[in-house]
């Protein structure tokens, strides 16, 4: 006689098997049969599974997709409607070229769907959907791809996955994926200040035209005239609009919305060393010679004019964009770092405005140097370029490359599959890559 525990285990197994069989039962719509799940080569696949699809050519990497619909045609062929995830090197830019990955695991989410034969299925895989302000999972503990940005394949542009400008059904789709990943991994924030800046950036990202004249006594004021800004208690948006107005007054805005948002934030972060009152332009402090001739005590009490502040932050943003314009994530990370340190280091803010530290030098400063507002070594207008990062360590295997026949093959990545693991191998000698199964 079986024990009660054994009977419970048998019942649970039967219930699970019955549920799977129920999912496999088709619903008929016209000439097609629709399924919630199906079995393929011994593995069980269902809607919303993330999978690898066989590429058209053997030298290409597998496609990554999400199963959205499972159908059986009249001739009995099983077909899948899949939502595609792009590898950065496959995603085209609007002005030409391809995007660069910020991490070897990175994919771009998209809303593009294609119908493919079920025979193209290779394996299940794991995809983590992670906001930019969250820490990335450790590869060895949580293998799989990561998604932090959405690729608009028609416009050929990238958006953050946490943006809230998507249409309702697509917004719910993304929110659910983010929620599932967070519940599964419980990732901590990468840095407190970055999370706060992300919230501020999102708050300012609403696609509404700002009323740039509401904080000016005279909306037609230009450089050389008096600039008056009300310094009363305001909401976050009003304050952002105030600094947007100052930037517009000095013709410092660009045609890029993202760059303008960072200019606004930079101007906000150094406001405590500036004077935006009516007489500030007439009392403007010369940024180089004037500041250098003052005593330290007097210099620390100096409030700089809007013209000096705008000139300094524009130079800093232009230097950052000129260096990192091809890497959206690195550009945003650098701007977050600069905003945080300018807000918390008065010495750094003052030396930026007076040009004691040039923008190109500040860009290359170490985190500890930014915090102190000075270089740890002898201060010069230039710094040595940082040494190249050491190549990523790769574990060697006993495999032999089929192309060059050399036995110098390393393990590049491990992909979790439905009933085992899938290995991505790379030949150190000729660069050939291919996939192998643990089975």
* Structural domain boundaries in the chain: 33-184, 240-278+302-378, 396-437
Look at residues 439, 435, 414 and name the one whose alpha carbon lies nearest to residue 144.
414
> Is the CB of residue 132 less than 8 Å from the CB of residue 332?
yes
Say which CATH class 33-184 falls into.
mainly beta
Q: State the residue for tokens 């089975």.
A: 439
Element (H, E) at 323: helix 306-324
Angle, helix 328-344 to helix 346-353, in steps of 10 degrees: 110
Beta strands in 153-267 (DSSP E): 157-160
Q: Rounded mean pLDDT of the chain?
A: 75
395-396 β-sheet, strand order:
395-396, 409-416, 421-427, 433-437
Q: Can you tell me the distance from the alpha carbon of 429 to that of 408, in angstroms, rounded to the nearest whole number?
A: 6
Q: Can you tell me the distance from the alpha carbon of 149 to that of 159, in angstroms, rounded to the nearest whole number?
A: 6
Q: What is the pLDDT of residue 240?
A: 61
Strands 106-117 vs 145-152: parallel, antiparallel or unpaired: parallel
Beta strands in 140-290 (DSSP E): 145-152, 157-160
Q: What is the pLDDT of residue 418?
A: 52
Look at residues 373, 362, 353 and name the one whose alpha carbon lies nearest to residue 323.
362
Q: Can you tell me the distance from the alpha carbon of 23 to that of 35, in angstroms, rounded to the nearest whole number?
A: 7
Flag residues of the chain having pLDDT under 50.
1-5, 8, 10, 192-238, 278-299, 378-391
Element (H, E) at 416: strand 409-416
Q: Can you tell me the distance from the alpha carbon of 255 to that of 10, in angstroms, rounded to the nearest whole number?
A: 65
Distance linking the first and last C-alpha atoms of the chain: 37
Element (H, E) at 378: none
Q: What length does the chain have? A: 439
Q: Tokens for 315?
A: 């130079």
Sign of CA dihedral 301, 306, 308, 313: positive
> Could you tell me which residues are beta bridge partners of residue 128?
146
> Could you tell me which residues are beta bridge partners of residue 274?
304
Q: What is the pLDDT of residue 17?
A: 55
Q: What is the pLDDT of residue 146?
A: 94
Element (H, E) at 69: strand 63-72
Sign of CA dihedral 349, 352, 354, 357: positive
Q: What is the pLDDT of residue 237?
A: 46
> Is the CB of residue 347 less than 8 Å from the CB of residue 353?
no
In terms of Cβ atoms closer than 10 Å to its own Cβ (0-12, 13-18, 19+), residue 112 is middle
Q: Can you tell me the distance from the alpha carbon of 413 to that of 139, in angstroms, rounded to the nearest whole number?
A: 9
Task: Collect all residues with Cβ–Cβ distance below 8 Å to 304 and sequence separation of at least 6.
Answer: 273, 274, 275, 284, 285, 287, 350, 353, 354
Phi, psi (degrees; rounded to nearest 5) at 225? -110, 175
């Amino acid at each position: 006689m079986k024990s009660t525990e054994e009977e419970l285990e048998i019942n649970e197994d039967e219930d699970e098997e019955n549920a799977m069989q129920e999912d496999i039962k088709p619903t008929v719509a016209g000439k097609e049969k629709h399924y919630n799940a199906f079995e393929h080569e011994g593995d069980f696949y269902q809607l919303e599974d993330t999978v690898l699809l066989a590429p058209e050519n053997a030298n290409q990497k597998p496609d990554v997709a999400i199963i959205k619909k499972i159908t059986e045609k009249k001739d009995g062929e099983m077909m899948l409607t899949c939502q595609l995830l792009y590898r950065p090197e496959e995603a085209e830019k609007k002005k030409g070229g391809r995007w660069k990955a910020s991490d070897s695991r990175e994919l771009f989410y998209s809303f593009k769907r294609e119908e493919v034969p079920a025979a193209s299925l290779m394996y299940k895989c794991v995809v983590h959907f992670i906001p930019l302000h969250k820490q990335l999972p450790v590869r060895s503990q949580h293998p799989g791809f990561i998604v932090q940005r959405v690729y608009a394949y028609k416009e050929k542009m990238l958006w953050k996955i946490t943006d809230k400008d998507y249409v309702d059904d697509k917004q719910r789709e993304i929110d659910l994926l983010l929620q599932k990943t967070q519940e599964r991994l419980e990732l901590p924030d990468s840095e407190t200040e970055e999370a706060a800046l992300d919230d501020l950036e999102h708050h300012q990202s609403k696609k509404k035209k700002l009323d740039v004249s509401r904080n000016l006594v005279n909306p037609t004021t230009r450089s050389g005239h008096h600039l008056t800004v009300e310094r009363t208690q305001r909401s976050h948006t009003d304050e952002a609009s105030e600094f947007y107005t100052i930037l517009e007054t000095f013709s410092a805005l660009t045609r890029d919305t993202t760059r303008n948002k960072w200019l606004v934030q930079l101007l906000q972060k150094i406001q405590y060393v500036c004077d935006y009152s009516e007489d500030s332009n007439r009392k403007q402090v010369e940024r180089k010679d004037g500041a250098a001739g003052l005593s330290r005590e007097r210099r620390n009490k100096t409030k700089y004019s809007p013209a000096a502040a705008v000139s300094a932050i524009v130079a800093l943003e232009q230097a950052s964009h000129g260096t990192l314009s091809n890497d959206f994530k690195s550009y945003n990370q650098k701007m977050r770092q600069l905003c945080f340190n300018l807000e918390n280091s008065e010495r750094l803010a003052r030396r930026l405005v007076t040009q004691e530290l040039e923008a190109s030098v500040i860009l290359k400063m170490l985190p500890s140097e930014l915090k102190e507002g000075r270089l740890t070594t002898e201060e010069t207008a230039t710094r040595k370029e940082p040494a190249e990062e050491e190549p990523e360590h790769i574990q060697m295997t006993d495999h032999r490359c089929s192309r060059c026949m050399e036995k110098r093959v390393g393990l590049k990545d491990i992909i979790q599959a439905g009933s085992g693991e899938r290995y991505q191998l790379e030949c150190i000698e000729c660069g050939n890559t291919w996939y192998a199964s643990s089975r």
